[in-house]
Amino acid sequence: MTDIPVSRLTDLEAAAELAFLAKRMAELDKAYYQADDPLVSDAEYDALKKRNEDIERAFPHLVRADSPSKRVGVAVSSDFAKVTHSVPMLSLADIFSAEEIRDFADRVRRFLGLSDADELNFCAETKLDGLSFSARYENGVFVRGATRGDGAVGEDITENLKQIKGLPLRLNGDDIPDVIEIRGEVIMNKADFMALNEEQLRTGKKPFANPRNAAAGSLRQLDPRVTGQRRLSLFGYTFGAASANPWDTQTAFLNKIKSWGFPVNPHTALCANTDDLIAYFTRLGDKRPDLPYDIDGAVYKVDRFDYQRRLGLLARSPRWAVAHKFPAEQARTRLEAIRIQVGRTGALTPVADLTPVNVGGVLVSHATLHNEDEIRRKDVRVGDTVIVQRAGDVIPQIVGVVPEKRHADAVPFVFPTVCPVCGAAVVRDDEDAAVQRCSGGLTCPAQAVESLKHFASRDALNIEGLGDKNVESFFDKKWLLRPSDIFSLEEMHGEELRKTEGWGAKSADKLFAAIAKVRDGAPTEKFLFALGIPQVGQATARLLAAHYTDMATFLAQTEKAQDRGSDAYAELTAIESIGAVVANDILVFTAQDHNRAEIEKLMSLMTLIPFTPTASTSPLSGKTVVFTGTLTTMTRSEAKAKAQAFGAKVAGSVSKKTDYVVQGADAGSKAQKAAELGIAVLSEDEFNALCNNL
Ligand code: IVH
């Protein structure tokens, strides 16, 4: 794998690299799945996979028949039977600081409407660094084991799990539900890992990179006898499907499964507040080197299950738990240069070019420096020895410099006052003074080209064949200057493209077909995201689409909302996650003539699909709900989230479009207006019943 940015690869280089990646990843897969002998760390594997994807996106005509992207995902190999989890196996949001613990606890309190005086306990646990499993018991007897897979579908590892000594084949004791799936982590003790690696070396096999890899490789063995020869352990920490759950708290649940003979990690503590959690984390960090197995942090769970149920789930993780990770791995290297990148919204971002260095198994050659203030605050200078770190999967960061290694001639970095791409003046952002922007707008090629890339990108309109590299080349040719040009590309330049080197009729027609597909039906939420309105990410775009349903309504309402005293403005800012700052960005964007003209042009060229909620079977789906009065069983934000989760839109005021008004105590004029308009008024209990009956 080279380090050349994908946008700078030539066709020839890209083809060579894809060939290398196909061969290399086939080798790695074979080693991992068949020989149980992973050759590289997960992070290195993921980096190769991502590189392959990036190149394929930019060079769709070079995608190989034997491309790793065409093979069954790593998560679920075709060799194991699949198991669909009736309750998905979720992941956890990561946090890294004491401050974020406080934010978590505050968020939970706010959501539940608890005052500071109300008791709120957390169950603090070790975050075990292994492979998660689900073990299903029917009438106390172990019947099926599964890996997590992608969270929805895992692999059947029943026989393999049976080989692990710690797993009870039968549960013994009281209160065992008819059906219960106990979930937890399979791990390999450090000592067993060392012994296994010695054995691997002795028999001429490659050692495993770390205990987690060894545990994963040992569990996912097609021959369960091999699993049996490896010493694996496991701990239970949660449950999936359960026919009954008579426990009130996580602590009681853990004690219960322990009494049935299921192993539970002993380093678990009940914490009454954030100070307790912070103390727990410090204690755990001190114990970490002496523990017989690897942990990578702590997990904090709201202890009470009734609270957990009310808090519910976000997209991939629960709202009631977080993972507090130990600090990221760090390394030292030399800062070669500082480059300025100009993004889609014109923000100037300094990027550090580094002498490549291995940080926790991944080769790092670039890091972000965020902005000018950050460079000044850390006094980072070209030529310095710097400390880089990777935290989770985020872009590597520069933590600071090693002052004693600084050369006498190192000079402070001078941030440009004009845009390095178009030469327009650089100005500080009104809202966030740390951000400096090019004032050129779409006349700045960097901004124009970045917004085109964004428009076509996978999470936006996902136009296959219009990856970064092709957008750049079409932009350079002046074939594409703004998004609407995409839809006349075939008509204007089709013949030429079919004859262009590296293209040919086949791949050109493929691109035109992909464009036609998007033209003939694009979801409004994707379109809203694709526009690249500052601060409007995928989630906000979805909320906007859910609220306004279609683009015509969005445009009409945002136009009215330009008057900050209007109902339309109140309605906009009542949408979850849209405060005054985001609203302002939306309104500034939609008020600009060139943006409005471009949106209208796109609307005339494309068929946009009005927002349709996913939970379409729900009686609340597509309905507009207004809450009024004081709610007693939940807070306003909880009620709003609940309604949205069932596919409803939540509005701030009652109108003809309102379907339900949910009335709390002391409801005022809204309830009266609902009665006048003949709109269904629900009590809080009725609303909850409606949701619970789904
Ligand atoms: S609870 C919905 N508890 O961490 C709750 N997970 O980053 C999800 N993990 O996929 C699981 N120790 O594999 C839980 N004490 C613990 C854990 C734990 C390790 C793993 C688990 C999960 C991942 C999420």
- pLDDT tens, position by position, 310-359: 999 887 789 999 999 988 778 899 999 999 999 888 899 999 999 988 77
**Which of ligand 1's atoms lies nearest the C-alpha of 317?**
2
**Domains of the chain by residue range:** 6-71, 93-325, 329-439, 441-520, 615-694
Neighbours of 349 (CB within 10 A): 15
Neighbours of 110 (CB within 10 A): 12
Q: Ligand 1 atom 18: the closest Cα is on which residue?
A: 127
DSSP string covering 73-140: PSSS-TTSPEEE-SS-----EEE-SHHHHHHHHHHHHHHHT--TTS---EEEEEEE-SEEEEEEEETT
Q: How many CA atoms lie within 13 A of 672 on its CB side?
A: 4
In the reported structure, the alpha carbon of residue 432 is separated from the centroid of ligand 1 by a whole-number distance in angstroms of: 36
Identical fold, 441-520 and 615-694: no
Q: What is the CATH number of domain 441-520?
A: 1.10.150.20
Q: Ligand 1 atom 17: the closest Cα is on which residue?
A: 127
For ligand 1, whether the C-beta of 127 sits within 6 Å is: yes
How confident is the model over 529-544, as a mean pLDDT? 88
Tokens of 628: 């009024």
For the annotated catalytic residues, the residue numbers are: 127
**Cα 335 to Cα 386: distance, rounded to the nearest angstrom:** 7
Share of the chain residues as helix, strand and coil, in percent rounded to the nearest 5: 40, 20, 35
In the reported structure, the alpha carbon of residue 187 is separated from the centroid of ligand 1 by a whole-number distance in angstroms of: 13
Give how far the C-alpha of residue 325 lies from the chain's centroid of Cα atoms, to the nearest Å: 16
What fold characterizes domain 93-325? D-amino Acid Aminotransferase; Chain A, domain 1 (3.30.470)
What fold characterizes domain 615-694? Rossmann fold (3.40.50)
DSSP annotation of 173: S
Question: Buried (b) or exposed (e) across 672-683, using 16+ Cβ within 10 A?
Answer: ebbeeeebebbe
For ligand 1, whether the C-beta of 238 sits within 6 Å is: yes
Whether 45 shows a pLDDT value over 80: the answer reads no
**Which of ligand 1's atoms lies nearest the C-alpha of 323?**
7
In the reported structure, the alpha carbon of residue 315 is separated from the centroid of ligand 1 by a whole-number distance in angstroms of: 16
Residue range 598-643, pLDDT digits in tens: 999 999 999 999 988 664 456 787 889 999 888 887 777 778 877 8
Q: What is the per-residue pLDDT for 539?
A: 77
**Which of ligand 1's atoms lies nearest the C-alpha of 127?**
12
For ligand 1, whether the C-beta of 561 sits within 6 Å is: no
- The radius of gyration of the chain from alpha carbons, rounded to an integer in Å, stands at 28
In the block, which residue shows the tokens 């269904």? Answer: 680
In the reported structure, the alpha carbon of residue 132 is separated from the centroid of ligand 1 by a whole-number distance in angstroms of: 7
- Grouping H, G, I as helix, E, B as strand and the rest as coil, residue 245 is coil
**Which of ligand 1's atoms lies nearest the C-alpha of 132?**
13
How confident is the model over 438-449, as a mean pLDDT? 86
Q: Ligand 1 atom 23: the closest Cα is on which residue?
A: 91
**Cα 186 to Cα 124: distance, rounded to the nearest angstrom:** 19
Give how far the C-alpha of residue 15 lies from the chain's centroid of Cα atoms, to the nearest Å: 30
Instruction: Say which CATH superfamily domain 329-439 falls into.
Output: Nucleic acid-binding proteins (2.40.50.140)
Whether 466 shows a pLDDT value over 60: the answer reads yes
Residue whose CB lies within 8 A of the most ligand 1 atoms, among 42, 85, 87, 91, for a mutation test: 91
Q: Ligand 1 atom 12: the closest Cα is on which residue?
A: 127
Q: Ligand 1 atom 6: the closest Cα is on which residue?
A: 127
In the reported structure, the alpha carbon of residue 279 is separated from the centroid of ligand 1 by a whole-number distance in angstroms of: 21
Whether 501 shows a pLDDT value over 50: the answer reads yes
* CATH class of the domain whose range is 6-71: mainly alpha
Percent pLDDT > 70 in the chain is 94
For ligand 1, whether the C-beta of 302 sits within 6 Å is: no
Closest to 534 measured CA to CA, from 570, 566, 578, 569: 578
Whether 437 shows a pLDDT value over 80: the answer reads yes
**Which of ligand 1's atoms lies nearest the C-alpha of 131?**
13
In the reported structure, the alpha carbon of residue 692 is separated from the centroid of ligand 1 by a whole-number distance in angstroms of: 27
DSSP annotation of 396: P
**Cα 432 to Cα 609: distance, rounded to the nearest angstrom:** 35
